[in-house]
Structure 1
Amino acid sequence: MAHFKTPDYGLKMIPVDFSQQVLPGSIEFALCHLVDHELDLSGLRSGYRNDAGGASAFDPAVLLKIVLLGYSRGLVSSRAIASACVSNVLFMAVSGDSCPHFTTIAAFVSGLGEEVGRCFTQVLLVCDRQGLIGRELFAIDGVKLPSNASKAKSGKRSDFEREAAKMEAAVRQMMASHAASDDDTNPHTEGEHARRTRERLTREAAQIRGWLERNPADRRGPRGAVRLSNRTDNESAKMATGKGVIQGYTGVATVDARAQIVLDAQAHGSGSEQELLIGAIDGVKAYRSAQTAICADAGYHSEANLKALSVRQVNAWICDNQYRSRDPRYAGQSAHKSKPDPLWDKSKRPKKPSCFGVSEFALAADASHCTCPAGKRLYSNGSDCTIGGHKAMKFSGAARDCEPCALRRQCLRKPDTTRVRQVAFFMGKRDGATSHTERMKQRVDSAQGKRMIAARFATVEPVFGNLRHNKRLTRFTLRGRTKVDGQWKLMCLMHNIEKLAHHGYAG
């Protein structure tokens, strides 16, 4: 039998040359070269005022290297990054054997503010110089991630006021009950558990009252609708995802198709992607040419957005929610959505009876009325209407005919609550009434539109796959939109530096 040397993985006391640990061609080499020779960090350094006295501080360039290297290795928390600076040789080499405390790293990330945007722009200039920005197709999409906020502390101001009043009432009841039992004939001492409960309720009620004083109004959407507030992070939002409801932010990224460079990164406390499209479009205005195509998924589709894109003369391809239902390549896809597991019941189930359609109503020659399947007349209640840009004639039945009708349950979807049947006959589109939505549907349904929508998916989704799976970005660790936006930009900045390294930058 062959004999092999036994490897020793134990502790070794050996000299290490840090300059030999960062190898050319690696991501960390590109990171160090970029920070040391390309980025202007004077804005970050200007915040330090210890030249006349005080302890020396960590160089922002060193902290930026540490944070970006940690993000590239899937280390998001400041504690994990600080621990790596103590035990990992590569982190020691990149930081010059600096060992900042995790609070220093956390304060640096949360205090970057607008400076992270300037660093992001400088890296984009390097990417453009290296020929990694093609300006042919920009894909826009967003990812919803939880933040450092409690979902249980979301609600409207009226909800919080009711919660505080309920706590205060419980405290008064506890104190009254204790006072009633604590008399001369039956002395009673309040138990430790009851005392702690009363103090906790008093403290939480006071916190809610204080929050209500600091926030005198409910959050409002762009159209004035009330949005849920949050007492731990009022700029975050409760939003629905494929894995349930979260309290967090939407990270929006605009990605160039040539090398998947992130051109713009924004984080918003809103689950509605429609209101984020124009901001993302304006964020890449400096990189967009007249021939640049903009692609986004159905979450960004709305008539108002398409009109705004038309006014800006943006070459956009925004699919709608019914795009796949019109594409024969996705025919039959909906049949798989109702399968709960591989052993789902494949037996045929009876379909719900459908109501009488418009085709089963006979329109009179003079269009004065129409006749229902039961032979009763429906009378005109709108001979020249516009519905969705189409000309239409509307008819409504009479209560004396519809209420006692034997075919009522075949005619009405809700026969128990709906009194009469109404029918609309469409007569074609109004002249000049073609909406932006209809024109966009024609664009995305064309052969070129199908290619553009497929290219959007192949451009932006791998970026989110890299950040969420490879880099383990499962949540934002900060509070407040400004801080979360900075952390999202840092993650996308790290992604761009990886692309530079993979394409031979500073190799």
Structure 2
Amino acid sequence: MFKYYNMNQLVLPLDLEVKLQENDIAFHIHHLVESIPHEAFEPFLRNTGCPAYHPRMMLKIILCAYSQSVFSGRKIEALLKDSIRMMWLAQGYEPSYRTINRFRVQPEVKELIRQCFVQFRCQLVQEKLIDQEAIFIDGTKIEANANKFTFVWKKSIEKYHHSLIEKSNQLYSELLEKEIIPEIERESEDELLIEELAQMVQKVDDVITEYDQKIEASSDASERKALRSKRKYPKKAYKQLIDFIIRKQKYQKDFEIFGERNSYSKTDSDATFMRMKDDYMKNGQLKAGYNVQIATEGQYALAYGIYSNPTDSRTLIPFLDEIEKHFFNLPKHIVADAGYGSEQNYDEILSKRRREALITYNMYLKEQKKKYKQNKFNPDNWQYDKESDTYTCPNQQRLVFKYVSVRTDKTGFKREFKIYECEDCSGCPLRSSCTKAKEGNNRKLMVNEKWKKQKEYVRAKLSEEKTSSIYRQRKIDVEPVFGFLKANLRFTRFSVRGKSKVENEIGIALMAVNLRKYTAQV
């Protein structure tokens, strides 16, 4: 016996809401988007043309699709015809894939996504799912939607540009020597500017035109042949100058795109070539990507940022600025791994922001080992006399203070080192193990007192019971978010190009991760 089944009988349509389960993710998406203030949608209002789909509805269906690991515009369009939760969220509307794709990359959508994160965090605080005591920061690299072999390297462009400068200067000297063009006023003796090259092109063109007129006016074959022979070099120089101008314009544009980066992709100029963990080519090939930074608590992503710099330590300060400006005030504890441990970052958090930095540094684990502490050639283990400001080496020789050295890194941050030098290293039996300095030179020691104090602070904080327990939560708080994003949601590559569009997409993907976890938890 079977249950009654008849395809020819009319069935009255019911409200799709009754078809959804009680705790369906569609309800959480609906409540979250409805909590966004009305003012955030005002930039989408248009007074002319056909009425647009409501941005609340568009945001709901995109969030829902991403939560189901559907990122293609065409597949989202197909879901609107197949999925009950998508039909309910869209309330019968079926926007095309073009409309969906245009909407999710609009600059105005960034504010809607930001409001989603703000409202979602308020909801977590109200339900006491997070305690606002600390944030856990980490980064991951996600592949850009760019061709793998369209790289442009800064060092190569610098090399070609330097060669172009030499060739253009040489050509200018030859044209002057052969009296083809007069001397022009130059802003710099080292390099010819585009405007100066354009002047040279005009003057050489005038010379070629003069030769053309003489050839046309002459009826003597031998004279015409001689004039054509003289015209060859100016014509060759003219072509070279045109080529120099085109190349120089290209190189200048390349340098503008590079900024402080070392590479970019031709198909997505905002993407930088980085080393990815998922090396499917198995050859260490760099791939175009973005450095995604997130701040989490309770395994929920509360803030995010997109950076073209592959180094985590140099993204921390701009990311903290982004959090305070657009998301929420920083809590008491800022937790991150050793990749963020630097003098500049400690100084920023401790001195400027007045927060506690629970961030290790590269040598933290090595310094805890017995072998490191018992190494007599390690300067950290040398005896220091505060009164005389001297160190004592393993051969009982004193290293006295000589001078202060200030070094400035690429970001403009200054570090101060005290330089100590041994009084006499000659004849030392331990010299080969102690120093690599040439024979006749004494052992020198560089000491960064500020960095030493910062390391002592970190070691003290991580030895306290409360702060060490907070730091230990880092691995089980921020890492699962990336695992969920890449493994469960299968979001391993962006589907849009350009930093602004990528920011929108990663925000939607991270909010989809949040909503899936929240739905499973409540």
If the length of structure 2 is used for normalisation, what is the TM-score? 0.64
Point out the structure with the larger helix share.
Answer: 2
Partner Cα distance (1:91, 1:297) in 2: 40
Partner Cα distance (2:367, 2:398) in 1: 33
Match of 2:421 in 1: 393
For the pair 1:217 / 2:247, whether they are aligned, the reply is: no
Question: Following TM superposition, by how much is the alpha carbon of 1:278 offset from its aligned partner in structure 2, in angstroms?
Answer: 2.0
Match of 2:344 in 1: 304
Matches within 5 A, 1:287-326: 287-288=328-329, 292-311=332-351, 312-326=353-367
Partner Cα distance (1:218, 1:255) in 2: 32
Over aligned residues, Cα RMSD in angstroms?
4.7
Q: Percent identity?
A: 22
For the pair 1:59 / 2:54, whether they are aligned, the reply is: yes
Does structure 1 conserve the Cα–Cα contact (< 8 Å) formed by 2:144 and 2:494?
Answer: yes
Does structure 1 conserve the Cα–Cα contact (< 8 Å) formed by 2:104 and 2:505?
Answer: yes
Partner Cα distance (1:412, 1:453) in 2: 36
Does structure 2 conserve the Cα–Cα contact (< 8 Å) formed by 1:218 and 1:228?
Answer: no
Question: Following TM superposition, by how much is the alpha carbon of 1:162 offset from its aligned partner in structure 2, in angstroms?
Answer: 8.0
Match of 1:25 in 2: 23
Match of 2:267 in 1: 232
The correspondence for 2:485, drawn from 467, 470, 484, is: 467
Match of 2:114 in 1: 117
- CA change 1:116–1:421 in 2 (3 A) is farther
Match of 2:295 in 1: 254
Matches within 5 A, 1:46-195: 46-49=43-46, 51-54=47-50, 56-111=51-106, 112-156=109-153, 159=156
Match of 2:474 in 1: 456
Question: Following TM superposition, by how much is the alpha carbon of 1:262 offset from its aligned partner in structure 2, in angstroms?
Answer: 2.2
> What secondary structure, in the 3-state scheme, does the structure 2 residue paired with 1:134 have?
coil
- Tell me which amino acid in the other structure corresponds to 1:492: L
> What secondary structure, in the 3-state scheme, does the structure 1 residue paired with 2:141 have?
strand
- CA change 1:87–1:495 in 2 (3 A) is same
- CA change 1:14–1:237 in 2 (3 A) is farther
Match of 2:35 in 1: 38
Partner Cα distance (2:514, 2:497) in 1: 25
Match of 2:514 in 1: 496
Question: Following TM superposition, by how much is the alpha carbon of 1:134 offset from its aligned partner in structure 2, in angstroms?
Answer: 0.9
Does structure 2 conserve the Cα–Cα contact (< 8 Å) formed by 1:22 and 1:93?
Answer: no
Does structure 2 conserve the Cα–Cα contact (< 8 Å) formed by 1:358 and 1:423?
Answer: no
Partner Cα distance (1:264, 1:371) in 2: 49
For the pair 1:279 / 2:318, whether they are aligned, the reply is: yes
- CA change 1:14–1:382 in 2 (3 A) is farther
The correspondence for 2:276, drawn from 229, 241, 244, is: 241
- CA change 1:53–1:138 in 2 (3 A) is closer
The superposition leaves residues 187-233 of structure 1 with CA deviations (integer Å, 9 ceiling, x where unpaired) of xxxxxxxxxxxxxxxxxxx9998865645536233xxxx52233222
Q: How many residues align?
A: 406
Matches within 5 A, 1:440-451: 440-451=458-469
Partner Cα distance (1:11, 1:94) in 2: 29
> What secondary structure, in the 3-state scheme, does the structure 2 residue paired with 1:217 have?
helix
Question: Following TM superposition, by how much is the alpha carbon of 1:269 offset from its aligned partner in structure 2, in angstroms?
Answer: 1.4
Does structure 2 conserve the Cα–Cα contact (< 8 Å) formed by 1:143 and 1:252?
Answer: yes
Partner Cα distance (2:287, 2:480) in 1: 23
Question: Following TM superposition, by how much is the alpha carbon of 1:78 offset from its aligned partner in structure 2, in angstroms?
Answer: 1.9
> What secondary structure, in the 3-state scheme, does the structure 2 residue paired with 1:278 have?
helix
Partner Cα distance (1:140, 1:317) in 2: 11
- CA change 1:220–1:137 in 2 (3 A) is same
Unaligned runs of 5+ in 1: 167-205, 333-355, 360-369, 374-378
- CA change 1:11–1:84 in 2 (3 A) is farther
Partner Cα distance (2:348, 2:393) in 1: 44
Match of 1:174 in 2: none
Match of 2:229 in 1: none
- CA change 1:93–1:155 in 2 (3 A) is same
- CA change 1:433–1:65 in 2 (3 A) is closer
- CA change 1:104–1:211 in 2 (3 A) is farther
- CA change 1:325–1:500 in 2 (3 A) is same
Matches within 5 A, 1:409-420: 420=439
Mean Cα deviation higher: 135-144 or 240-249: 240-249
- Tell me which amino acid in the other structure corresponds to 1:80: K
Does structure 2 conserve the Cα–Cα contact (< 8 Å) formed by 1:392 and 1:426?
Answer: yes
Does structure 2 conserve the Cα–Cα contact (< 8 Å) formed by 1:296 and 1:317?
Answer: yes
The superposition leaves residues 115-136 of structure 1 with CA deviations (integer Å, 9 ceiling, x where unpaired) of 3223332333333333333111
> What secondary structure, in the 3-state scheme, does the structure 2 residue paired with 1:435 have?
helix
The correspondence for 2:302, drawn from 247, 263, 272, is: 263
- CA change 1:39–1:500 in 2 (3 A) is farther
Partner Cα distance (1:208, 1:90) in 2: 55
Does structure 2 conserve the Cα–Cα contact (< 8 Å) formed by 1:28 and 1:94?
Answer: yes
Does structure 1 conserve the Cα–Cα contact (< 8 Å) formed by 2:142 and 2:289?
Answer: yes
- CA change 1:301–1:381 in 2 (3 A) is closer
The superposition leaves residues 75-118 of structure 1 with CA deviations (integer Å, 9 ceiling, x where unpaired) of 12222222222233332222223222222111111112333223
The superposition leaves residues 238-268 of structure 1 with CA deviations (integer Å, 9 ceiling, x where unpaired) of 1223334321111111112xx3332211111
Does structure 2 conserve the Cα–Cα contact (< 8 Å) formed by 1:140 and 1:295?
Answer: yes
> What secondary structure, in the 3-state scheme, does the structure 1 residue paired with 2:473 have?
helix
Does structure 2 conserve the Cα–Cα contact (< 8 Å) formed by 1:30 and 1:497?
Answer: yes
Matches within 5 A, 1:326-405: 326-327=367-368, 384=402, 392-394=420-422
Does structure 2 conserve the Cα–Cα contact (< 8 Å) formed by 1:358 and 1:424?
Answer: no
Does structure 2 conserve the Cα–Cα contact (< 8 Å) formed by 1:157 and 1:212?
Answer: no
> What secondary structure, in the 3-state scheme, does the structure 1 residue paired with 2:275 have?
strand
Partner Cα distance (2:254, 2:9) in 1: 58
> What secondary structure, in the 3-state scheme, does the structure 2 residue paired with 1:71 have?
helix
Question: Following TM superposition, by how much is the alpha carbon of 1:294 offset from its aligned partner in structure 2, in angstroms?
Answer: 1.2
Question: Following TM superposition, by how much is the alpha carbon of 1:14 offset from its aligned partner in structure 2, in angstroms?
Answer: 5.9
Does structure 2 conserve the Cα–Cα contact (< 8 Å) formed by 1:412 and 1:421?
Answer: no
Partner Cα distance (2:362, 2:4) in 1: 59
Question: Following TM superposition, by how much is the alpha carbon of 1:63 offset from its aligned partner in structure 2, in angstroms?
Answer: 1.3
Match of 1:336 in 2: none
